[in-house]
């Protein structure tokens, strides 16, 4: 395997003396000269007085990786015991140095071993400088790197004293000219930057001296900046007048207050962007992802402490995901653009008009480049379908893939800005390309048909000057109809979009006065509706404060069968149990667990590119349209095996091999008892089980959600049933309707359970 065990030393030492030796030593792992702590002058900080304080970063929380994130995050377990894992690791006899240093160095070693060609000579010199650092400066750099890399930190408040014996010396090592990884407080020259370092009490003291007033920190900062606008300094007794420093230079009030601020903060440290940008690029190459936080390293930490065990598979780390340095830089730039757009639009619809216009500006800037990249990609793939299938996952690491998502977001913004003509142009371009974000194509067809039906006739003139507005409207209605038909015929349109496209066709055809005999009949493909059941229960009404809204609040119900308060799903589950059913409120957990059991060996079958590290819970192409066709023969053989009643034997074998280790496999929840799973597959039946698993194989990303709330089975009658629980004002979503259709079509009973409060007010 490419990745070595974490217990081994992860430092490939590099000499600093020359570029040729640098290249040679990186490849041959020769030891470098060490850069020791640099004692520029004796520290006056009272280090002993603050040893033992809790690190500021320990309380910082980071976002969990998104399910749809690029790269390895989609295949990594979501850790919820990060701090516990670190404590257990540091308590072991194997602990020699920080897991952060080992994990950071492992990522760097792996990248430099196979993908050194992506980095320039000057960048390789920075790697050599990092290698030559002693342990404590390395540790400090990594911990600051994992925090806000652009922020200033007070040296006396850095609490890493279990790992760093001389904090002042470690900081000065990073700040010295020989290393140049960080800068000190001398880089702060403006009052605007200085006052941001102060807390409220410190700012009040500075403001009091300047006779600046304000009721909060923002007002105090503004008043202080206004008060310091003059060029006259403060004398030695705090009186206004001309003031000079020791060199005879005038001291402005700005300079005076900057000095006072830095006296309060004490020595400072901030990482320089030249090095942090490079190490972020290393992260991107190693993790095939766009974010690096402490959670990026947690997977390795959990594996080290054996809190996570991963499946056995052959790691095939691809060294040509980025074939050239230029392709890596293009991808990196596109990731940053994508991040900017996401940051603007992350407010769930409350984005300001200025924000929307900013996204529109970004779209204008990248649109022509995106079209050029798409054209180059289409030309490169032409006539090479087999290679395209093999590299379906690798497409995600191209600028074209990332910018396609940016263009998609830009199209959404154009709709918000009511620029429908431009949005229509963008949608046409998105639908014309192939291979990039195919799962979104159904939504693009839907949106294009809606624009053609409702807006294009009013903003686009007819084909001739004699075309009436009514005739022009019919032209666009026909185009909308053709768009819907094209969407239904496109193999890249996921089934979830078929229902909406069919509804629009059924609405458009009567408006176009198409004869009944020529209209589409979707009766054979109409979604199967679930059976309906009403369950009466006692709802517990909560007191709602005046400034609180009931919207989105989970309702609380009384469990009349077992007592106590519970959710609406648990209340209904208790009712079903009283009727003789066994069940779980699993929301798809049962089916995803069964799929993980039954397709374990197929998921971890060796294929190029899909296993990039030893810490994955699934192949990287599971979330793409390439998973099913790449394993078509094996999947069809397994589906036939399930139809012939082979599910129980497969579950027995996988459970025997992996339950004691609780191996991390995507979707598998070890809390479900093996005996229950065996009863369930017996009740579902092989044919229905095969249909369900085939849906997962074809569209795992789309089908991992939307499953009914409750799974129920009766081992005596050999029956199983799903139940989707809805309280008042709840409606089925598109994914839920589709799963109900799939399950019902497979012969599995599905109920839509309406929970009704008998004590409604």
Per-residue pLDDT averaged across 633-653, rounded?
95
Three-state DSSP class for residue 270: strand
- Global pTM? 0.74
Length, in residues, of the chain: 761
Structure confidence at residue 483 as a pLDDT band (50, 70, 90): very high
CA distance 618 to 697: 12
Within a 10 A sphere around the Cβ of 361, how many other Cβ atoms? 11
Compare 366 and 528 and report the one with higher pLDDT: 366
**H or E, element range at 597:** helix 589-598
pLDDT at 625: 76
pLDDT at 328: 93
* Res 147: pLDDT: 81
Over 70: is that where the pLDDT of 171 sits? yes
What is the C-alpha separation between 171 and 682, in angstroms, rounded? 64
Asked if residue 97 lies in contact with residue 8, where contact means CB atoms within 8 angstroms, the answer is no
d(CA 403, CA 547): 42
pLDDT of residue 126: 95
pLDDT at 217 over 80: no
pLDDT in tens, 447-465: 999 999 999 988 888 777 7
Mean pLDDT check: name the lowest of 147-151, 162-166, 517-521, 743-747. Answer: 147-151
**Lateral strand order in the sheet of 182-183:** 153-154, 268-271, 182-183
Most confident of 196-210, 548-562, 622-636: 622-636
Mean pLDDT on 39-43: 35
| Pairing state between β 182-183 and 268-271 | antiparallel
Which pLDDT does position 399 carry in this prediction? 92
Long-range contacts of 374-379 (CB under 8 A, 24+ apart): 374/400, 374/404, 374/433, 374/436, 376/400, 377/435, 377/436, 378/433, 378/434, 378/435
Q: How far apart are CA 120 and CA 311, in angstroms?
A: 36
> Roughly what angle, to the nearest 10 degrees, separates helices 686-698 and 589-598?
90
Higher pLDDT, 747 or 466: 747
Quick one: pLDDT at residue 382? 57
Residue 329 near residue 119 (C-beta atoms within 8 A) = no
Mean pLDDT over the full length of the chain: 78
Separation between Cα atoms, residue 675 and residue 419, nearest integer Å = 58
Q: What is the pLDDT of residue 523?
A: 67
Model pLDDT, residue 729: 67
Note the pLDDT of residue 759: 61
Which DSSP category does 497 fall into? Answer: G
Residue 351: per-residue pLDDT: 72
pLDDT of 329 strictly over 80: yes
Is the pLDDT reported for residue 119 higher than 90?
yes
Per-residue pLDDT for 274 more than 70?
yes
* SS3 assignment for 311-346: CCCCCCCCCCCCCCHHHHHHHHHHHHHHHHHHHHHC
CB 124 within 8 A of CB 26: yes
pLDDT score of 178: 93
pLDDT band per the 50, 70, 90 thresholds, residue 13: very low
pLDDT at 3: 32
- Cβ 709 vs Cβ 724: under 8 Å: yes
Residue 75: which residues within 8 A CB-CB, separation 6 or more? 616, 617, 618, 619, 620, 622, 666
Query: From CA 715, how far away is CA 679, in angstroms rounded?
Result: 6
Residue-level pLDDT at 241: 43
Angle in degrees, CA 617, 622, 625, rounded to 5: 170
What residues does 271 pair with on adjacent strands? 182
């Amino acid at each position: 395997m490419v990745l070595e065990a974490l217990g081994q030393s992860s430092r490939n030492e590099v000499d600093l003396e020359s570029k040729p030796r640098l290249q040679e030593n990186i490849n041959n792992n020769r030891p470098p000269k060490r850069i020791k702590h640099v004692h520029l002058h004796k520290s006056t900080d009272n280090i002993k007085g603050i040893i033992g304080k809790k690190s500021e970063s320990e309380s910082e929380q980071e976002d969990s990786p998104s399910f749809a994130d690029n790269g390895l995050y989609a295949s990594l377990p979501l850790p919820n015991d990060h701090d516990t894992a670190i404590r257990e690791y540091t308590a072991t006899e194997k602990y020699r140095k920080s897991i952060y240093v080992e994990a950071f160095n492992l990522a760097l070693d792996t990248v430099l071993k196979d993908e050194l060609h992506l980095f320039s000579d000057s960048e390789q010199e920075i790697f050599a400088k990092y290698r030559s650092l002693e342990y404590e400066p390395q540790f400090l750099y990594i911990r600051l790197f994992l925090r806000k890399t652009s922020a200033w930190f007070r040296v006396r408040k850095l609490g890493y004293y279990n790992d760093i014996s001389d904090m002042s010396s470690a900081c000065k090592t990073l700040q010295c000219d020989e290393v140049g990884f960080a800068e000190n407080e001398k880089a702060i020259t403006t009052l605007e930057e200085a006052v941001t370092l102060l807390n409220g009490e410190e700012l009040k003291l500075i403001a009091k001296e300047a006779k600046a007033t304000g009721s909060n920190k923002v007002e105090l900062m503004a008043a202080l900046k206004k008060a310091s606008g003059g060029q006259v300094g403060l004398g030695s007794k705090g009186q206004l007048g001309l003031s000079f420093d020791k060199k005879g230079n005038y001291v402005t009030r700005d300079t005076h207050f900057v000095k006072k601020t830095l006296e309060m903060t004490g020595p400072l440290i901030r990482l320089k962007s030249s090095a942090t940008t490079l190490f972020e690029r290393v992260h991107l190459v190693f993790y095939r992802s766009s974010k690096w936080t402490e959670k990026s390293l947690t997977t390795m930490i959990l594996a080290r402490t054996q809190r996570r065990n991963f499946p056995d598979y052959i790691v095939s780390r691809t060294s040509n995901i980025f074939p050239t340095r230029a392709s890596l830089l293009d991808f990196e730039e596109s990731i940053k653009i994508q991040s900017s757009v996401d940051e603007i639009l992350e407010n769930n619809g409350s984005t300001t008009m200025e924000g929307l216009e900013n996204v529109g500006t970004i779209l204008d800037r990248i649109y022509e480049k995106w079209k050029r990249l798409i054209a180059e990609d289409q030309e490169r793939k032409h006539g090479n379908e087999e290679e395209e299938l093999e590299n379906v996952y690798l497409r995600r690491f191209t600028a074209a893939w990332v910018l396609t998502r940016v263009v998609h977001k830009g199209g959404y913004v154009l709709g918000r800005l009511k620029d429908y003509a431009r949005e229509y142009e963008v949608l046409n371009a998105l639908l014309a390309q192939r291979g990039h974000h195919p799962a979104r194509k159904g939504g693009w067809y839907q949106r294009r048909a809606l624009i053609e039906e409702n807006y294009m006739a009013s903003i686009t003139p007819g084909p001739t000057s004699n075309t009436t507005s009514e005739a022009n409207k019919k032209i666009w209605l026909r185009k909308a109809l053709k768009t819907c038909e094209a969407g239904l015929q496109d193999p890249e349109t996921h089934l979830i979009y078929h229902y909406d496209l069919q509804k629009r066709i059924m609405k458009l055809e009567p408006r176009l006065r198409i004869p009944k005999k020529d209209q589409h009949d979707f009766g054979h493909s109409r979604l199967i509706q679930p059976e309906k059941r009403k369950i009466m229960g006692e709802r517990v009404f909560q007191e709602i404060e005046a400034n609180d809204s009931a919207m989105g609040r989970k309702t609380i119900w009384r469990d009349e069968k077992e007592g106590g308060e519970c959710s609406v799903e648990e209340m209904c589950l208790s009712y079903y149990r009283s009727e003789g059913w066994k069940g779980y409120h699993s929301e798809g957990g049962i089916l995803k667990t069964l799929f993980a059991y039954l397709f374990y060996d197929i998921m971890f079958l060796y294929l190029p590119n899909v296993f990039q590290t030893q810490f994955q819970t699934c192949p990287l192409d599971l979330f793409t349209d390439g998973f099913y066709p790449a394993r078509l023969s094996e999947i069809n053989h397994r589906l036939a095996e399930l139809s012939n009643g082979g599910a129980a034997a497969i579950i027995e074998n996988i459970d025997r091999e992996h339950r004691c280790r609780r191996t991390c496999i995507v979707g598998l929840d070890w809390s479900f008892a093996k005996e229950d799973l065996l009863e369930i597959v017996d009740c579902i039946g092989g044919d229905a089980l095969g249909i369900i698993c085939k849906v997962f194989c074809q569209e795992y990303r789309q089908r991992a959600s939307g499953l009914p709330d409750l799974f129920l089975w009766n081992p005596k009658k050999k029956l199983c049933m799903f139940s989707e629980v809805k309280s008042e004002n709840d409606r089925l979503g598109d994914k839920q309707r589709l799963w109900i259709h799939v399950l019902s079509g497979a012969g599995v009973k599905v109920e839509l359970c309406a929970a009704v409060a008998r004590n409604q007010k």
